[in-house]
Every structure is written in C-alpha cells, then in structure tokens.
Amino acid sequence: DLPFVLIAGPCQMESRSHALETALALKDMCDKEGVGLIYKTSFDKANRTSVAGQRGVGLEAALPVFAEIRESLGIPVLTDVHNAGQCAPVAEAVDVLQIPAFLCRQTDLLLAAGATGRAINVKKGQFLAPWDMVNVAKKIESTGNDRVMLCERGASFGYNTLVTDMRSLPIMARTGCPVVFDATHSVQQPGGQGSSSGGQREFAPVLARAAVSIGVAAVFAEAHENPDCAPSDGPNMIPLAEMPEFIATLAAFDRLSKARPLHSL
Amino acid sequence: DLPFVLIAGPCQMESRSHALETALALKDMCDKEGVGLIYKTSFDKANRTSVAGQRGVGLEAALPVFAEIRESLGIPVLTDVHNAGQCAPVAEAVDVLQIPAFLCRQTDLLLAAGATGRAINVKKGQFLAPWDMVNVAKKIESTGNDRVMLCERGASFGYNTLVTDMRSLPIMARTGCPVVFDATHSVQQPGGQGSSSGGQREFAPVLARAAVSIGVAAVFAEAHENPDCAPSDGPNMIPLAEMPEFIATLAAFDRLSKARPLHSL
Amino acid sequence: DLPFVLIAGPCQMESRSHALETALALKDMCDKEGVGLIYKTSFDKANRTSVAGQRGVGLEAALPVFAEIRESLGIPVLTDVHNAGQCAPVAEAVDVLQIPAFLCRQTDLLLAAGATGRAINVKKGQFLAPWDMVNVAKKIESTGNDRVMLCERGASFGYNTLVTDMRSLPIMARTGCPVVFDATHSVQQPGGQGSSSGGQREFAPVLARAAVSIGVAAVFAEAHENPDCAPSDGPNMIPLAEMPEFIATLAAFDRLSKARPLHSL
Amino acid sequence: DLPFVLIAGPCQMESRSHALETALALKDMCDKEGVGLIYKTSFDKANRTSVAGQRGVGLEAALPVFAEIRESLGIPVLTDVHNAGQCAPVAEAVDVLQIPAFLCRQTDLLLAAGATGRAINVKKGQFLAPWDMVNVAKKIESTGNDRVMLCERGASFGYNTLVTDMRSLPIMARTGCPVVFDATHSVQQPGGQGSSSGGQREFAPVLARAAVSIGVAAVFAEAHENPDCAPSDGPNMIPLAEMPEFIATLAAFDRLSKARPLHSL
C-alpha cells in the first residue's frame, strides 16, 4: 500500500499571498517527512451557519491563485464545488474536486463533477451510513470517471455533536475507492456556538492517528497560522506551528500501518 | 390559533392527469373535514439514493401543470427547488417554495428563494438541532421575506434511521415561524433498502397525531393511490384510501389542541 | 380501551408527612378529573450521578408509610426495587414494583420481582430498542406473573441527552402489555449538570400529551411542591401547582384518543 | 508510559479444564510478545438478552478455578460482579473486580467493590458520556480505594448499534485513572439477533489498533477457540487462533504510541 497523502490548507482562501505562503509552508513540512501534499482551500463557504458568516474570495478571484499554486509551486490543489455549473471551470484550475458532505447525494452535482474527469473527493454526509456511500460512488462512476475518493468526516450523534465511527474506514474501502479521513471536520460541533460552529481542535490529532493506524489513503486537515482569527472553522483548525509534529506522527503510524495492513473486511 | 393545513400529494409528479386526479381527490377529502389543502408534488427528485432512481417529469413539464392546479382547481401548490436558478421560474407557478432538508444551509438557495417573495417551507436537516433553524430562517428573512415555515422531518439516529424529537416543534415555534410536521419523511429509513430508502408508513399517522396534539400550523404527508408502485418514496407514503380517516383524526386532535394550546416554551 | 391512569408523586420519599400530604393533594387533583392515581415515590435513589447525592429515607422507614398510604388513604402505591432481596419485603407494602431502566436486563431482579405476583412496571433502558422489551417481559412472565407494564422513558441520543421515539409506544404495545409513558424522566439530561442530572421540565407536558394522543395505559410524572429544592430530579419534576392543568389536559386528549384508537401496528 | 496489558479470556467460564486451557494458551501467546496478561472470565452472565440464555457455572464453582489460575499458573484474574454481596467473596479469589456497564452507576455495588481494596475495572455505560465517568470513579475512591480503571465499550448509537467515540479515551484519562479499551464488546450489536445480541468480530482488531495508537493502559478482548459455538457473545469474540496476530499487532502499535504519547488533553 502507498504512503498516505496529506490534504491540507486553510479553510478558506483569504488572499493570494496568504494562500501562497500557507501552501509553501505546508509543502516544506511535508517534504521533511516525505509526505505528499495536496493543497486544500475553499473559494466559497456556501453553507455557513449564519448569513453573516464570511464566505470567501469567490470563484473568479480564486481560480488564478489555484493555477499559480499548481504551476509555480508544483503543488496539486483541491477545492470544493457547490453546484453543477462550477464544476467545469473549477476543474480547469485544480486537480481534485471536492463534494461537500451536505451535497453528497445531489445527483446533478455528482454527475457534473464526474464529467470533468478530475479526481473527486466526496465527503460522507453526516446523515449517511458508510455502506450507503457505494451509491454515491456509483453516481460519479456512471459518468465513466472512476477516480473517486470517499471521505469520513463524522456522523450526527445527538445535537451539535459528531462522532467518528472508525469502522467506516474499512467499510468504505470495500468499494475499492481510496479512503480519506478528515481530521478537522470530524471534531466540529455543528451550530455549537449559536450562530457559528464550535470545534475541538485538540482531538484532531487523536482521531487522525487512529485513522492512519487503521489505514487510509489520505488525511485531510485544515490548518491556519492563527485559527482563532480565521474567518471560518477556527475552532477546529490546527495551528500551522503544530503541523510538523502532526505530520511526523502520522507518517510514523502510517509506515507501521502499511507494514501491517488489516485484512480487507 | 388557526386550524392546521394539510400539505399533501404524491412524492413526484407522474403525469398531468395523475397530478390533477390526485389533487382533486385530496381536495374533496379535505373539504369534507373543513381542512385547508396545499397540494405538494416534486418536479425533480434531485438526491435519490441511487443514480438509477426515477427523477420526475422535470421543471418544464411541471410548471404548466402547477399553474393549472392553482388556476383551474383553485388549490394552492407547493414544490421543492434544488438550486438558486430554479427559484424565480418556479415561484411564477406555485404558492410555496420548499427547501429540501439536505439543502437547508445552502445560503444561495435560501436567498434566491427568499427573493421571490413566496412563502418558503424549509425542511430541517437531519443533521441539525431544532434551535439551529433560527439561523436558517434569518438567512431567508435577510431578503426582506418573512413568510418562512420551518418543518420537522426527523433527525439522524444511528444509521439508516430517523427519530422525531417532538420537542423540536415548540422549539422551532420560538422563532415565530409557523411550524410544519412532515409525517411521511419522518418515518423514512434513509438508504435502508440498499439502493433505495425504506420507510414505515404505518407510523406516519402515529407521529402525525402526536404532532397535531402538541400544536402545528400544518401537517405534510405524501399520499399515493398505490404507494408500492410509486416511482419514489413508496415505503413511506400513505395510501390515498386511508387519507380520509387520517385527515378526520388529525382534525379532531387539532381542534382539541387549539382549544388547549401549550404555553409558549 | 380504559382511561389512562396517572402514576405520580415526588421522586423520593422525604418524610412521612411530606409523603402523605403529596399523596392527598394528587388524589384530590385526580378525583376532580376522574383519573385514577397510583402514588409513586422511591425509598432509595440507588444510582445517583454522584456519591454525594441524597439517597432517600431507606427501605425500613418507607415500608410503614407505603402501607399507611394504601390502607388509610386508599391510594395504590408504586416504588422501585434495586436488587432481588428487596422484592419480597417491598411487595408486602406496595401494589406495583418498578424496575429501574439501568436494571431492566438484570435477570435475577426481574425474576424476583415477578415471583412476588405483584404488577411490575419495567422502565425501558436508555440503551434498548423498543422491540427488545419483549425479552424483558418474557423474563418476568417466566415466573408465571403476566402483570407486566412496559414504560418508555427516553433513549440515549448523543451525550447527556435523551430523545423520546413515540413509535416505541405502539411497538411495545405489540407485546400485549400495558404501556406507560414516563413524562418527567424522558426530559432528563443525564449527567447534564456535571455532578447531577439536568432536565427540561417545560417539555414534560409536551411529550405527555403526544403520548396520550397516541394512546397509553398510564402516564408517569414526578411532581413536587417546590422542585428546585427537591433532593433529586428537581430539574425535571413538575410543580404540584401545575398538576391540575396537566391532568385535565391529558384527560381531554385521552378521551379523544380512546375514542379514536390507532389500529394496532 | 508502561506497555499495554491484555485482559482476555472466554466470555463465560465453561468448565475448569476449559478455563485452564484457555488461560495457558493466552499466556503463551502473550509471553511471546512480552505482553502482560490478565485472564478474564465470568462466573455468571446476569443480564442476558433472553431468559433462555445460558448464564454460566456460578460463583461457587468458579471461585476455586479462579484461585487455581492465579496460584498454579501465576496469571492474574479479573471477573465481573453483579451485586454488592458478591464483592467480598469474589475479591478473595481474583485480582480485579469488574463492574458491568449497565451497573456502572449502582452506588452500593461500586462502594462494596471499592471496599475490597482490589483493583476495579468499571465499564462505561452505553448511556454515559465519557466525562461523566469521573463521578463513577469518585464513588469508588470515596471508599479509600484509588485503584480504578475506566473502560470504553461503546456508546448507544440508534437502535441495536454501538459506536466507539475514540475521544473518550483521552477524556477518561483526564481523571488520572488507567484507561482500558474493550475491543470485543464495542462491536456488539445489542439485541441485534432478536433474542440474543449480534456482533461484528471482524471490527474488533480495527478498533483495538486505533485505541492502542491513541494510547491505553490495557486492551480487553474476549477470545474463544470456537466462538460460533460459545454459550454467549460468540458473534463478537475473537477466535483463539487469531489472537497471536492480534497481540503482535497491538504490541507494535503500542510501542510506537508509547514512544509518541499524545499531549494530555
């Protein structure tokens, strides 16, 4: 089995310079551990808890920055799309299209994303069982695109709380799709601060090392130099300064896990 | 407090004649009990479990039928919208726009729906706490449209199962918005049949009378002359033949409930 | 179907005089509405959140008071038992033995309770599905005692939260046992105050009228003249002053529900 | 941090010879990996799903066998107690008393167990939040006995399903108590086979390696030479033949985890 890849970056693109600096910083950290990096950032936060939440720089401003990160820095880029019309233009500028969890059953979006031929990372809905993701993968694969990744990011557990069922990783792997573990959204507390979501960033490394020990293709983790001042997802992002240890630890567990793979289940 | 209204119809529009016949049949039943009817049917099932699931007649075919039901039969019509672009054209032909549960936090959709000035029925996401719906209402109200209804349709409870927390009705009522109880989707078993959802239609009348006893502005219930042959949501739709008793019972409980309202909570 | 019975009283016996006064007050209220009363109070709170929680007057002090309430006041009495050895002596003094929810699968306790021949009210464990209660009933019935009542009191829903699935009432009724709805423990927030449980007493009447509308044999509700000063379960007990309206409302819904029974499911 | 200890054995004692053989087999396997073993077996299954479920050899038959395993084989022994009266006699014959999950809030049982001075392993109730276990530990510690271990074994997640929230391990560790992960009960499906519980034994190694990677003091796992024929818990026990790989893998992850401990949270 191949080593895990890190999908990381700030929740939303804040500016060109912030994007480039964060991408370079993460690239350096990953290089030191021999870990592959896919840079993640959003051009639009389309489902904020509150209408007052900051949404991001928007598609037009973001596309040239995505292109610059890919071409000048040589770092592959992932971003999320929110409607069918965005898929084709965004696919021009990035390597991986991501389907948000709330939208993981929207057929038109899945088909449009699939039709671009790009790799697709689908977040599992908080309302879905892991065995139901096979239907989601099949929707995308019906376009002839089989580059589908399935991503665990927590399941609804009572109100304002998510729980990560680690069994979902081997269950989703039965589809044959690479499985991604989203360490920072799995510790979100949806709506937990009234007009914004809370989070428990201290548990992101806990769940990430558990997932890597079980065996995943990639870990997704949002990171920011100053999460408490970030425009979104601050409570669950990992401070950039803690990322070197985060990456090194996961790399160590990943090596052990790949040397002792679980039997397929 | 006003008597409850029934929002009912087949899950998806199957044909013009089927739509008109069902609307007339339901109208007759409601008239006999003095219950107001809003006819509900979908032109597109945009988030079927499987890509092979039948999606419906589509927007263009449906709009004239919606108009005919409103104008010729005098029955107000509700249908659901799935992206911002659909809101304006659909609002021309119907009285109430409905926001699907999975999409209840998609800001652009909520704003576009609000901007039509039509009444909006928002289904509470299976992943949301009832107190989080105030943020959803505020998104719509930010357009200057305060005709917002909030609809309970079950919360995620483990895998492939929903549970109805009846406390959500008075909690959502605190917003001042009329509260709707969706009796047939609350008994859905999402993904419960592998490549389609299951349902427990026998419990729809159970939950509906509980909700009406607590006090709601409207009950939503999908109905079909032969649910087991319906193209979608068969397992949870109520057979048309059982609707007269369903309506009569709810009307009786509604009268008692409105005579003995709960203190606001 | 018979009218519902009210099982009510303070969470724990505080003194002989408090017990007699509360029993008389509740009896008066029930008589006014033609509702039967079973007086409930505990001699021991055996599973308090914290070791510092007050446990009650104990078995020896309570038994003569139970006897006095039954014999002098003519009110049937229910209390809960916590181990097999308590069943026989307690059965001498009360009409109904109650099995606490946490203990609803303890075979020896169920068998000892059953062997007394008394009616047994078993609370459904917060960790049990309603269809699993048939196994609990069968354990008791294996003693030759078929006077078993099954009681809904909420199911675990994430942390520190219970949810009432109203489907559990008709599901448990399939066993043929009378079904009881516990309105005040269903709104408990277990462990929700750190070293004691919280509660939402304002929702007890909400859930109770929903349950009665569906149809139950009895409603269970703890009541106290000053819940905020009660030694246990204060946050979820109903103030005695609110009980007359509570009882009158439930009686009205019960009459309607018994006149329009749900088909058995 | 010390290496993890394995708590293992068949769910229930079936006979003296079966107990001794299994203990020796497990001891051999653990010795090969340098892992400490505590032998676990129950003398009574006091809360079977059905009254027809086999309960075990009983206290009197088991005590001499426990003593023999400790004294002749030199293996420490753990067993579970179900009422206060059992604590003292059982403590004579074993090293660790275990409190079953359903009973984790029964004050008298916790106090009697604590009073023996033995180490106590308390299973976290399926209905409890991990932060509520501090109250359970304090009940035992009020006896002057601070040898308390807290054990994760899954939380209720909808009906007939448990989920393991891996955050519970560091949360319970905040108490200062050693934390145990029960790999085989965490994959139980309570009541999932109608009159007995189901299980997913294939996921026990998945969850165990996740827990060990996070860092635990002990792993609990029931094992049997032929689980499908075992009198209880067959669906979730690990076949004895698979235990060597199970132990070796956990030992490898434990070494890495102890070399890279998580910051306390």
Per-residue tokens: A264:
């397929």
Comparing C-alpha atoms, which of B126, B151, B148, B125 is closest to residue B137?
Answer: B148
pTM, to two decimals: 0.97
3-state percent breakdown (helix, strand, coil) of chain A, nearest 5: 40, 20, 40
E-only strand ranges, chain A: 5-9, 36-40, 77-80, 96-99, 119-123, 148-152, 155-156, 162-163, 179-182, 188-189, 198-199, 218-224, 238-239
Q: Is the pLDDT of residue B95 over 90?
A: yes
**What confidence category does residue A197 fall into, taking pLDDT thresholds of 50, 70 and 90?**
confident
Please tell me the distance from the alpha carbon of residue D201 to that of residue D185, in angstroms, as a whole number.
9
**What confidence category does residue D264 fall into, taking pLDDT thresholds of 50, 70 and 90?**
low
Mean pLDDT over A118-143 rounds to: 98
Q: What's the gap in Å between the CA of C100 and the closest CA on chain A?
A: 23
Q: A72 φ, ψ to 5°?
A: -80, -40
Nearest to D51 among C48, C139, C155 (CB): C139
Nearest to D129 among C126, C135, C159 (CB): C159
Chain D residues with CB-CB distance to C99 below 8 A? none
Structure confidence by residue, pLDDT tens digits, B215-249: 999 999 999 999 999 999 889 999 999 999 999 99
Chain C residues with CB-CB distance to D128 below 8 A? 190-191
Q: What is the pLDDT of residue C265?
A: 66
| C46 close to D106: Cβ distance less than 8 angstroms | yes
Chain C residues with CB-CB distance to D190 below 8 A? 127-128, 132
Q: What is the pLDDT of residue B64?
A: 97
DSSP string, B109-176: HHHHHHHT-SEEEEEPPTTS-GGGHHHHHHHHHTTT---EEEEE--EE-SSS-EE--TTHHHHHHTTT
Q: What is the pLDDT of residue C192?
A: 80
Q: Do C132 and D83 touch (CB under 8 A)?
A: no
Size of interface A-C (CB pairs under 8 A): 13
Q: Do A48 and B132 touch (CB under 8 A)?
A: no
Mutate to test the interface with D, among A33, A163, A238 (most CBs of D within 10 A): A163
Angle at B175 between CA B174 and CA B180, to 5 degrees: 85
Mean pLDDT score across all residues of chain A: 96
Please tell me the distance from the alpha carbon of residue D99 to that of residue D179, in angstroms, as a whole number.
14
- Residue identified by tokens 């349709």 is B153
- Torsion angle, alpha carbons of A102, A104, A105, A110, to 10: 130
Structure confidence by residue, pLDDT tens digits, C12-60: 999 999 999 999 999 999 999 999 999 999 999 999 999 988 999 999 9
Mean pLDDT over B85-111 rounds to: 98
Q: Which residues pair with C222 in a beta bridge?
A: C9
**What confidence category does residue D205 fall into, taking pLDDT thresholds of 50, 70 and 90?**
very high
- Residue identified by tokens 């390597």 is A95
Chain D residues with CB-CB distance to A257 below 8 A? 209
H-run or E-run covering C162: strand C162-163
Please tell me the distance from the alpha carbon of residue B93 to that of residue B109, in angstroms, as a whole number.
18
Comparing C-alpha atoms, which of D180, D167, D252, D160 is closest to residue D221?
Answer: D180
Task: Say yes or no: A249 contacts chain D, CB-CB below 8 A.
Answer: yes
Instruction: Please report all neighbours of B, defined by 3+ CB atom pairs within 8 A.
Output: A, C, D
**What confidence category does residue B265 fall into, taking pLDDT thresholds of 50, 70 and 90?**
low
Number of C-beta neighbours around residue A171 at 10 A: 22
Q: What is the pLDDT of residue A264?
A: 66
| A114 close to A121: Cβ distance less than 8 angstroms | no
Please tell me the distance from the alpha carbon of residue C13 to that of residue A194, in angstroms, as a whole number.
40
Q: What is the pLDDT of residue D265?
A: 66
Burial A31-62 (b: 16+ CB within 10 A, else e): eebebebbbbbbbbbbbbbbbebebbbebeeb
Q: Which residues pair with A80 in a beta bridge?
A: A98
**What confidence category does residue C193 fall into, taking pLDDT thresholds of 50, 70 and 90?**
confident
Please tell me the distance from the alpha carbon of residue C43 to that of residue A5, in angstroms, as a whole number.
60
Q: Is the pLDDT of residue A195 over 90?
A: no
| A81 close to A109: Cβ distance less than 8 angstroms | yes
Structure confidence by residue, pLDDT tens digits, D109-154: 999 999 999 999 999 999 999 999 999 999 999 999 999 999 999 9
Q: What's the gap in Å between the CA of B7 and the closest CA on chain C?
A: 21
**What confidence category does residue A19 fall into, taking pLDDT thresholds of 50, 70 and 90?**
very high
Q: What is the pLDDT of residue B215?
A: 98
Mean pLDDT over A157-176 rounds to: 97
Comparing C-alpha atoms, which of A163, C147, D232, A257 is closest to residue B157?
Answer: A163
Q: Is the pLDDT of residue D94 over 70?
A: yes
Q: What is the pLDDT of residue B219?
A: 98
Mean pLDDT over B1-13 rounds to: 95
Task: Say yes or no: D102 contacts chain C, CB-CB below 8 A.
Answer: yes
Structure confidence by residue, pLDDT tens digits, A89-100: 999 999 999 999
Q: What is the pLDDT of residue B175?
A: 97
Nearest to C203 among B167, B206, B249 (CB): B167
Task: Say yes or no: A203 contacts chain B, CB-CB below 8 A.
Answer: no
Mean pLDDT score across all residues of chain D: 96
Structure confidence by residue, pLDDT tens digits, C216-251: 999 999 999 999 999 998 899 999 999 999 999 999
Chain A residues with CB-CB distance to D200 below 8 A? 167
Q: Is the pLDDT of residue A78 over 90?
A: yes
**What confidence category does residue C264 fall into, taking pLDDT thresholds of 50, 70 and 90?**
low
Comparing C-alpha atoms, which of D3, D6, D13 is closest to residue D27?
Answer: D6
**What confidence category does residue D90 fall into, taking pLDDT thresholds of 50, 70 and 90?**
very high
Compute the Cα dihedral for C142, C147, C153, C155 and give only its sign.
Answer: positive
**What confidence category does residue B23 fall into, taking pLDDT thresholds of 50, 70 and 90?**
very high
Cα Rg of chain D (Å, integer): 17
Number of C-beta neighbours around residue A258 at 10 A: 14
